[in-house]
Amino acid sequence: MITVKKLVKRFGPKTVLRGLDFDVEAGEFVALLGPNGAGKTTFLRILSSLSRPAMGEVRVAGYQLPNQAAAVRRRLGVVSHLPLLYGDLTAEENLRFYGRMYAVESLDERIAEVLEIVGLYPRRRDLVRTFSRGMQQRLAIGRAVLHDPEVMLFDEPHTGLDQEACNMLDGVLQEVAAKGRTVVMTSHDLARTADLASRFDVLSKGKIIDSATREQVTPNDLLAFYRGALAK
């Protein structure tokens, strides 16, 4: 579903990604772990067509980036630590706007369905700026799944959430993954990642330096695996 070969990204003189290779099968949930500045967000921005690679090959859902960016974007849902929502619009209006941008059919029914999934149907007519951070993040997931994408990218979705909001978010994430979507999620929170992902890749200094499946690394061993990968 996602194939990346020898990806290089530079910002001026600084090289952020250095010949990164990455493959994800359909239906996999890959957690991308790594320290700050490893290039996780840059990598997700390239996968989501928001950033152009300097070199290398990137294919998402069979389409090449950046040449077939519109086709990739149609099949992609993105959630970042920012909600990508308008505070002066209601939850329903935000979803209606994005639904129009993605040409979602039977939009009213789909909006109602998505608001039920993320548990915000009773608050559908409230302005997003009145929502708590956790509610905004749940609505952000609703926005990302509105057009029923095949691939979902999550960039540190737990950032800034309290314990309860994190638990609710995990429930929604599990529901999203259970639909057979391909998911790539960056995170610093190893404990939460351990419960969600089916594969763990460690990104450091612009490259994937280690990888393990859920069968190879139990949740209890994940921290040791992560530290070991970084120490190599």
Partner 1 sequence: MKNFRNFIRALTAVVRKDMAAEWRSRELFTAMLVFALLVILIFNFALELDARARASITSGVLWVTFAFAGTLGLNRSMAIEKDRGCLDGLLLAPVDRSAIYFGKAISNLVFMFVVEIVVLPVYSVLYNINLVNPQLLLVIFLGSIGYVAVGTLLSTMAVQARTRDILLPILLFPLVVPVLIAAVKASGGILQDFAWEEIQGWVNLLIVYDVIFIAIAFMFFDFVVEE
Compute the distance between CA of residue 58 and CA of residue 79 in angstroms, rounded to an integer: 20
Which of 89, 107, 168, 209 is the binder for partner 1 (CB under 8 A)?
A: 89
β partners of residue 11: 14
Compute the distance between CA of residue 119 and CA of residue 139 in angstroms, rounded to an integer: 9
User: Site mask, partner 1, residues 114-153, x = CB under 8 A?
Assistant: -------------x---------------x----------
55 conformational bin, left if phi > 0, alpha if psi -120 to 50, beta if neither? beta
Write out the two tokens for 39: 């290039």
Write out the two tokens for 179: 């639909």
CB of 122 to partner 1, least distance (A): 20
Distance of CA 127 to the CA centre of its chain: 25
Which of 2, 78, 135, 208 is the binder for partner 1 (CB under 8 A)?
A: 78
Residue 67, interface with partner 1 (CB under 8 A)? no
Closer of 85 and 222 to partner 1 (Cβ): 85
Residue 182, interface with partner 1 (CB under 8 A)? no
Which of 55, 82, 191, 223 is the binder for partner 1 (CB under 8 A)?
A: 82
CB of 213 to partner 1, least distance (A): 29
Residue 52, interface with partner 1 (CB under 8 A)? yes
Per-position b or e across 70-103, b if 16+ CB within 10 A of its CB: ebbbebbbbbbbebebeeeebbbbbbbebbeebe
Note the residues at the interface with partner 1 (CB under 8 A).
45, 48-52, 70-71, 73-74, 76, 78, 80, 82-89, 93, 97-98, 100-103, 127, 143
